[in-house]
Amino acid sequence: MSPRSVRDQAARVSDVKRLVDAARDVARNRGAIASELVAMTGLSPEGVDLAFEKHLELRPSDAEVASLVARAGDAPSVAVVLSANVFVGALRALAIARAASDDVIVRPSRREPVFARALVDAARALGDTGIRLDEAFEVASLERGEIHVYGRDETIDEVRKNARVRVRGHGSGMGVAWLSERAELESAARLLADDVVAFDQRGCLSPRVVMVEGDDARAEAFGEALHEALSRYDTLVPRGTIPADERPAAARYVDTMTYAGSAIVGAGHVVGVAPAGSAFVLPPSWRHVHVVPSSNAREAAAWLSPVARGVVTLGSNDLSAARALAGVVTTWARLAEIGRMQRPPLDGPVDLREF
């Protein structure tokens, strides 16, 4: 099977839109898989519902789909190796693969295969014969085409060691927010809480760090406001159960911030507030947010620079200011308004870094 030509643009668009239709079918009938998703993902039932309601891209514009198709490239075959962190991310991953090829093999994550299985089944029920599941797929078996792998950097490296074809990796990452001096703190906190709560902060777009333009007092005020906003979610969308192997990191972060700044501990979240000039601290996921003051964007860029490679998205109340900041240290990062960091358009990979 040869790669499809540019003349097949309409067919590629149709393939992507059929996958979106399949995702709508899965969402409409999600009661059939909801309990399995709760068990597999560790999210609360409310967290699973939130993912379907607000973070599954079911209404992409024609322009967004055209952008995704243009970015997908061409391949005679694509094998997709999925991650478990953000279960609805399978739609984007499969759409990119399907836009690139008429022959797509899907290997779901062993830790969360439920949504991907349902999506492939729904697509095939709609007549898509170009996509199939192979949960036992071995990367060394693919003789032509390419492999799209989503997950930890170590997973990507391991796939590359064994693959005989091109590997396109989408690795670990995080979201960072920049609140300019114009941000109204309580409003910004409510919006950022929306971004933190989705998927219990385990995706590569999840904000883990918030840089607040201003002094220590302003950062502390934002930390308190974010604590209040997240406290409301503790009831509305409870955090799932932190896995046993990740609890020590959560405890260490609280201990670190208690000593080096302040730790505001809620029923299902932690907000750490660091003083100006402190070293970078990356909090764990599961609704842990690190807040730090910066006197200006230049200082923020310098502080972020050592870890900038890990930034996938930069959110802000002021996109022009964020654009200037990204231009210094994270030229590849997606820009988003706070409150929409976890809802990117279906226009291509969310991670625009090269692996």
Residue 89 has pLDDT above 90, yes or no: yes
- Res 2: pLDDT: 45
Q: How far, in Å, are 117, 136, 213 from residue 4 at the CA level?
A: 26, 27, 49
In this predicted model, what pLDDT tens digit does every residue of 171-197 receive, in sequence order? 889 999 999 999 999 999 999 999 999
Q: Domain 6-170, CATH 3.40.605.10 — does that match?
A: yes
Residue 119 has pLDDT above 80, yes or no: yes
- Res 7: pLDDT: 44
d(CA 186, CA 228): 9
Backbone angles phi, psi at 81, to 5 degrees: -110, 110
In this predicted model, what pLDDT tens digit does every residue of 210-265 receive, in sequence order? 999 999 999 999 999 999 999 999 999 999 999 999 999 999 999 999 999 999 99
d(CA 353, CA 6): 25
- Of the candidates 322, 327, 298, the residue with the CA atom closest to the CA atom of residue 179: 322
The chain-wide mean pLDDT, for the chain, equals: 95
- Residue spans per domain, the chain: 6-170, 174-337
Per-residue b/e over 81-91, b at no fewer than 16 CB within 10 Å?
bbbbbbbbbbb
Average pLDDT over residues 328-337: 90
Q: Above pLDDT 90, what percent of the chain?
A: 90
In this predicted model, what pLDDT tens digit does every residue of 14-23 receive, in sequence order? 999 999 999 9
d(CA 243, CA 35): 18
d(CA 312, CA 71): 17
Q: Domain 174-337, CATH 3.40.309.10 — does that match?
A: yes
- Res 331: pLDDT: 87
d(CA 309, CA 297): 18
**DSSP code string of 228-274:** HHHHHHHHHS---PPPGGGHHHHHHHHHHHHHHSEEEE-SS-EEEEP
- Res 4: pLDDT: 53
